[in-house]
Amino acid sequence: MAKGGATTEFLAEAQEIVDALNRDLIAADQEARAGDVDPDRVNGLFRNAHSLKGISSMFSLLPVSHLAHELESVLDSMRLGKVGVSADALDVLFACVEQFGTLIDAAGRGAEIDEQSIEQLLARLRAVAAGGGEKPSELMELVDLGEDVLSVLTEYEEHRLRENVKRGRKLFILRSAFDLSNFDVGLAEIDAAVKKVGEVITKLPSSKPTDPNVISFDILVGSDTTAAELARALGDERVEVVPIGRRAMVAQPAERPLPEHAGDDPAEPETAGVRSVSRTVRVDIRRLDRLMNLVGELGLTKLAFQRLSDTFRRQQGFTELAA
């Protein structure tokens, strides 16, 4: 393992990630008891486990890296609905966070590591992963979306679409256009507004012709609100709210029946046939997911080299090498 200042800084950063994991787990446990875990919470746990795996591997703290790798796999299955956010699963995740703290402390003191306790925890994680989840329904049987739209959804987006339908939420397309110079700001504002009343499932580039300096998106959203209520929550007249139809064969959960809104919003547009939405998409979104992971790894690598460079600068005889 690396020695000196770089090691000290690594241990400090690793502990920060573990602290973030612990905070998110406490929040997820509270949400699970209330019956509704925020999907962004699970995504945050997954990202932190991925970061911890990368940085611990980079500094050759292999016990942390191996445990973080298994934790990341379980959290990935959890965010995709393959593993439930159960009390038993959360107990194992809390045990992992506690073990991370023990391992980081041992690394800082140069103490021996209890390999047996790690193996026992790895076995518990694999048991959680083997528990499985519900068999997913065919999306074509659930919603009025074309195959050309469904085929470009990531596995995670497919899962979130199913979850929104399962919960009895209504589906909408938000048609929006932004200036190329600040479209990220506009998308962030929509995300924040929708978060209060529902969930953004995916953002797809629109096929509608626009000004060359404008970029348009069709944003798939699930919400318990009506179209009019969603439009009010967005507070932006430039965003068009279009309802998405359901297949008649799908029965809604008894405890959350889908209310009839046929007469509530006479001005609502006709149900969107969203086949045209994805015709401009030519890149498999799964590849973009992999690219984002690589960008994260590169960021960690850059940080590690910067810290090593700073350490060399402080050591006599390495000034030219670190320049």
Query: What does the alpha-carbon distance between residue 251 and residue 2 come to, in Å, rounded to a whole number?
Result: 58
Query: What does the alpha-carbon distance between residue 275 and residue 243 come to, in Å, rounded to a whole number?
Result: 14
Decide whether 5-134 matches 139-278 in CATH topology: no
Of 53, 47, 57, give the one whose Cα is nearest residue 78: 47
Q: What is the DSSP letter of 143?
A: B
Please list the residues that pair with 203 across neighbouring strands: 219
Query: Please, what is the Cα angle at 88 between 82 and 92, to 5 degrees?
Result: 90
The answer to whether residues 172 and 202 touch, using CB atoms and an 8 Å cutoff, is no
> How many other C-beta atoms can be found within 10 angstroms of the C-beta atom of residue 153?
21
What pLDDT score does 10 carry? 84
Superfamily classification of domain 139-278? ACT domain (3.30.70.260)
Helix (H, G, I), strand (E, B) or coil at 38: coil
Q: What is the DSSP letter of 282?
A: -
Check whether 270 has a pLDDT greater than 70. Answer: no
Q: Which of 20-29, 80-89, 252-261 has the highest mean pLDDT?
A: 20-29
Please list the residues that pair with 176 across neighbouring strands: 217
Q: Structural domain boundaries of the chain?
A: 5-134, 139-278, 284-323
Query: What does the alpha-carbon distance between residue 52 and residue 300 come to, in Å, rounded to a whole number?
Result: 10
Mean pLDDT, the chain, integer: 79
The pLDDT confidence band at residue 2, using thresholds 50, 70 and 90, is very low
Of 193, 200, 135, give the one whose Cα is nearest residue 164: 200
What pLDDT score does 319 carry? 52
Of 99, 104, 88, give the one whose Cα is nearest residue 122: 99
Q: What is the DSSP letter of 138?
A: P
Give whole-number Cα distances, 240 to 176, 182, 266, 270, in Å.
7, 19, 15, 12
Query: What does the alpha-carbon distance between residue 85 and residue 307 come to, in Å, rounded to a whole number?
Result: 37
Residue 203 C-beta-side C-alpha neighbours within 13 Å: 14
Query: What does the alpha-carbon distance between residue 194 and residue 6 come to, in Å, rounded to a whole number?
Result: 42
What pLDDT score does 271 carry? 42
State which H helix or E strand residue 149 sits in.
helix 147-150
Amino acid occupying residue 143: V
Fold annotation for 5-134: Four Helix Bundle (Hemerythrin (Met), subunit A) (1.20.120)
| CA-derived radius of gyration, the chain | 23
Q: Which of 110-114, 197-201, 287-291 has the highest mean pLDDT?
A: 197-201
Is the whole model's pTM more than 0.75, yes or no?
no
What pLDDT score does 145 carry? 72
What pLDDT score does 104 carry? 92
Check whether 286 has a pLDDT greater than 50. Answer: yes
